[in-house]
Structure 1
Amino acid sequence: MSSRDNYTTIMREREVVRALLPAQEHKLPLSNLDWLLPSVDVSVFFCYYNPKDTWNENFNPAVPTVISTLKKALANTLVHYYPFAGELSRNPAGELELLCNNQGVDFIKAYADVKLKELNLHKPDVSVEGKLVPERKQGVLCIQVTKLQCGGLVVGCTFDHRIADAFSANMFLLAWAEITRGKPVSHLPTFDRSLLRPRQFGHYDKSIDGMYEPLSTPLMRGPNDHHPASRIYYIDADTINQIHSLANRGNSIKGHMQKSKLESFTAFLWQVFAGRIGNEKAKRIKMGIIVDGRTRIAMNHGEEGEQREIHHHVHPICNYIGNVLSIPFGDLSINDIMEKPLSSVADEVQEFLSSALTKEHFTGLIDWVEVHRPKPTLARIYCTSSSGEEVAFVVSSGLRFPLSRVDFGWGRPALGSYHFSWESSAGYVMPMPSPSGNGDWIVYMHCTKDHLEYLEEEVCDVFKPMSSHYLNLES
């Protein structure tokens, strides 16, 4: 069945959901790592098949509806995640802080006259934005639950990125789903800002000056000819394994460490875009990877080089809600990228990424922000030249996110993805696991339209448009 872009979403009801047991009103400062984020909203949405027998179309008061169940569970979830029911305000010094006042979360009930299998999920700009994910008008979180014509359901959430990174949003979503199913919360969050307190005699490596910069304006805009668009693709597991294998060729001879699938994919993306951008006036490409610092900060002295996973109970930072991110990046000329085999480009990825995989990097980054406060700061990869001679892409990773656990009682989602619009000219790529668990990746990509068209023309065997057929929604 062909997709539909011209469907209508009717906002039937907007109300406020507050924490069932509100905490005493207090102010929570933003951490130094929160200061590295611009004012931008990030949305995430989940599509579900028809939750049978749960819509209560006859409005029997003895039968709870999906909406009432979700709202009740949200009120209970906000007991643990009470700052998400607050709002940003400014202290006497003019700095932002989080006022935990139980103002509440905007909760929107909506209806869309489209079937799940008709959604153009390849182009979320037309099918999702403004229709299935809400616009945040107040507070720091907004939620929309949309019933579809077929009985399917879409749950969309929009967060203020300054108070939550993807890890934080994911923890909240998993807790909400657990409480909705009547389960205890697996991992209780912490908002203890002392975990990211600058050191008394702070110091940092000079490499951080090359990664971040103080700004005179909140966010640098890209060139005027920047026409962004968003797409969702899937990459099958065999293709990912092939890219991984190519990126690791020759390691035993050269002595390089084994590259991860994310490092291999990033190197592949770097080369692919070099082929397109080589026909433009751009001469260089920056490629960055977002690093979550929680496991790095949790490492004891001498463990920085280990790649083991830190369990949640080891250190409070592992359940910390806020931003604990850094964005190391490489900067290469088009010619350098094109002349190297994929394995050598992957070496470049591994090299720039290694600079942010230590506890000292994150403690130094905290100290760096302290030196520059209250001036706003931003990752340099987002500040590309307005001349158009350089292009930048940032790769995040949701590959460890257990998508199948975002189950509110009617099964795993058919699809989950992030979506946002922002002002930077840097492209953004977010791979996530397929909810089917078959090893495929779902890849959200936000960059210029011509770069997306190039992907679909030149590497269409890798980046395959998301479709209802792939998600088995045709029947």
Structure 2
Amino acid sequence: MDSGAFPVTIKRREVVAAVLPVQEHWLPMSNLDLLLPPLHFGIFFCYKNIERVSPESMAAVLKKSLAQVLVYFAPFAGEIVANGQGEPEILCNNRGVDFTHAYADVELKHIDFYKPDLSLHAKLVPLHMHALLTVQVTDLKCGGLFIGCTFDHRAADAHSANMFLTAWADIARSNPIKLLPSFRRSLFNPRRPPQPHKSLDELYAPLLQPPTAGNHCLLTSRIYYVQSDEIDRLQSQSSHKGTRKSKIESFSAFLWQTLASAADGSKAVKLGVVVDGRARLGNNKTTSLESYFGNVLSVPYVEASAGELQAAPLKAVADMVSACIATAATAQHFLALIDWVEVRRPKAAVARVYCKDERDEAAVVVSSGQRFPVRMLDFGWGGPDFGSYHFPWGGETGYVMPMPGPHGNGDWVVYMHLKERHLDLLEARAPHVFRPLSRNYLKFE
């Protein structure tokens, strides 16, 4: 059977609102939120045979605890509405979350996670409809369970989504929420007068046309696993002069160089790296941003010709990646970015790496998912056996998200959204690194 040919039957569609009345209020977007176009990212996690709990009972637990957690995460039960200046704001009106309970006539071991466009997209990971959060709970033929969630990126980044998911699981098990969200937008107020830095003009640009989320004509999604010894080897090859590169820097350098390996030497290859500003801006107990709900991201990028990348040793490429990240890894960068947006409002802007030039060989953004809390997503029947992000965002800029593997042995699972020829290139040039995610590896036999 074709891995994506299984039927999915909708058992029930409904809207789940917060269990307690929520005072209707507006939550403005911070200047960092305003850098996100209308994009939606998916997160999914699945459980093997759950014999002691019926499908209807599991759906009831998930729905009840969702209604309870929305009391604390009111924005996810709201909607995004344009204000008088045409900018998006969140109306926290308890409209609710779009919630679907479905049945898929397939066993977990027969779902092809390597090619999620065919097996997961719009089948087990729901398309965004109207709500800021869309949830689909799917019973599987084998007695397993699949939970897919789609988030509006304008309201939340991956850190915020992770915080929500762990709180949802805590409530499902009748435990207190470990980290209550903060919505203090004043933490990101611009300075008076604003002090934007001219260098930001090289990293951000006016948003002329939003990308079309879910456009599959240009890019393809695949999921790989990378063994821990390969990650260690890349880190060793990237480090020199007594400085040890991080694993994400080393991996990004290798990816960047490999994408350039078969290109015309004059073509440009761009690499962006998502930097979370929470640790940079919240550097003491009074301004901790660990619990902040929203987007606190910057996407610096570096560009080089394919010929330059082909000729350089990996450690030199890793130095370029480190220098790129360093430009955004300071509080001053984020304060200047907040001010940069302020002086251009209400005109929308976006990271330049998303604006791929037709003459470029490739442009790709790497975002670390190492804090993806898969093992904490226990709703009362044990933690998931596997989980991943799914982010087919459209446009021509690729997206790569490495996250912890399911076996706790240091392996990575890597979601990749690139042109098909680039994915084929990675598999051909580095099959020892990029191994297609298989049911054998996941132990779904």
Q: Which residue of 2 aligns with 1:201?
A: 193
Q: Which residue of 2 aligns with 1:424?
A: 395
Q: Which residue of 2 aligns with 1:413?
A: 384
Q: Which residue of 1 aligns with 2:226?
A: 235
Match for 2:298 among 326, 344, 362?
Answer: 326
Structure 2 residue runs without a partner (length 5+): none
Contact 2:16 2:67 in 1 (8 A): yes
Q: Which residue of 1 aligns with 2:332?
A: 360
Q: Which residue of 1 aligns with 2:174?
A: 182
1:264-279 matches, cutoff 5 A: 264-278=250-264
Q: Partner letter of residue 240 of structure 1?
A: I
Deviation at 1:276, TM superposition (A): 2.7
Change (3 A) 1:420 1:374: same
Change (3 A) 1:425 1:79: same
Change (3 A) 1:390 1:295: same
Deviation at 1:416, TM superposition (A): 0.9
Contact 2:369 2:403 in 1 (8 A): yes
Match for 1:373 among 316, 339, 345?
Answer: 345
Q: Which residue of 2 aligns with 1:293?
A: 277
Contact 1:216 1:375 in 2 (8 A): no
Change (3 A) 1:220 1:283: farther
Q: Is the counterpart of residue 124 in structure 1 residue 100 in structure 2?
A: no
Moved runs in structure 1, 4+ residues, more than 4 A?
A: none
Q: Partner letter of residue 445 of structure 1?
A: M
Contact 1:220 1:383 in 2 (8 A): no
Change (3 A) 1:40 1:33: same
Residues in 2 aligned to 1:55 and 1:426: alpha-carbon distance in whole angstroms: 42
Residues in 1 aligned to 2:264 and 2:404: alpha-carbon distance in whole angstroms: 31
Match for 1:263 among 235, 238, 249?
Answer: 249
Q: Is the counterpart of residue 138 in structure 1 residue 130 in structure 2?
A: yes
Contact 1:247 1:346 in 2 (8 A): yes
Residues in 1 aligned to 2:216 and 2:165: alpha-carbon distance in whole angstroms: 37
Deviation at 1:98, TM superposition (A): 0.4
Contact 1:412 1:435 in 2 (8 A): no
Q: Deviations over 1:128-185 (max 9, x none)?
A: 0011011221121110000000011110000111101111111101110111111110
Deviation at 1:421, TM superposition (A): 2.1
Residues in 2 aligned to 1:457 and 1:416: alpha-carbon distance in whole angstroms: 26
Deviation at 1:314, TM superposition (A): 5.3
Paired residue secondary structure (1:176) = helix
Q: Partner letter of residue 42 of structure 1?
A: F
Contact 1:142 1:158 in 2 (8 A): yes
Aligned length: 444
> What is the TM-score of this pair, normalised by structure 2?
0.96
Change (3 A) 1:212 1:184: same
Contact 2:219 2:394 in 1 (8 A): no
> What is the TM-score of this pair, normalised by structure 1?
0.90
Structure 1 residue runs without a partner (length 5+): 58-64, 301-312
Deviation at 1:4, TM superposition (A): 2.5
Residues in 2 aligned to 1:271 and 1:421: alpha-carbon distance in whole angstroms: 23
Root mean square deviation of aligned Cα:
1.8
1:73-472 matches, cutoff 5 A: 73-219=65-211, 227-248=218-239, 250-252=240-242, 257-278=243-264, 283-299=267-283, 315-386=287-358, 388-472=359-443
Deviation at 1:38, TM superposition (A): 1.1
Q: State the percentage of identical aligned residues.
A: 50
Paired residue secondary structure (2:439) = coil
Paired residue secondary structure (2:70) = helix
Q: Deviations over 1:427-453 (max 9, x none)?
A: 100000012211000000001011111
Q: Is the counterpart of residue 26 in structure 1 residue 19 in structure 2?
A: no
Q: Which residue of 2 aligns with 1:61?
A: none
